[in-house]
Structure 1
């Protein structure tokens, strides 16, 4: 399990960087890698449901993992971080 202080520091830096680099609301591209499972992908899709997100998936060459790219218009850096936190609760997910 990752150190909660390091996770908090990461999200604080991300929020600051997003606030400096982008005028909000703005489109944002989320990228995740998950163990290949329709359940994992469905869990991610539910998190972005109702936001008008464009979701694309691509299986790895061996079919072990699936990359999930999600482009969606987000309101603020806080909204982006909230989605990362929600997705991080899915077992085996890697945020890129």
Structure 2
């Protein structure tokens, strides 16, 4: 199975966002990260001053944390920019 390049993924995501949403729009980000306060804090900082609602939920054994973020974004490019910023945090899985 071919692994999609990041550029191809973001291009496809942008097309889907244009087709399925009116902008500006609320967007729900979902990430999984190791339950490490520094990593979780890094994600929080990326969404500081955006009016984001951030919900954290630890896994049953406490090893991982699910981070759900609902935020009003102005367009698909803004959505993708946040994904790229969060992608720089080591070990984050975007859902």
TM range (shorter): over 0.9
Matching residue of 1:93: 92
Count of residue correspondences:
93
The superposition leaves residues 32-85 of structure 1 with CA deviations (integer Å, 9 ceiling, x where unpaired) of 000111111100000000000000000000110000000000000000000000
TM-score (norm 2): 0.95
Matching residue of 1:66: 65
Cα distance, 1:86 vs. partner?
0.2
Alignment of 1:69-80 (within 5 A): 69-80=68-79
| Structure 1 gap ranges (5+) | none
Residue 71 of structure 2: SS of its match in structure 1?
Answer: strand
| Structure 2 gap ranges (5+) | none
Matching residue of 1:15: 14
> Take 1:40 and 1:85, find their aligned partners in 2: how far apart are those partners?
15
Cα distance, 1:13 vs. partner?
0.2
> Take 1:81 and 1:7, find their aligned partners in 2: how far apart are those partners?
11
Residue 66 of structure 1: SS of its match in structure 2?
Answer: strand
TM-score (norm 1): 0.94
> Take 1:70 and 1:37, find their aligned partners in 2: how far apart are those partners?
17
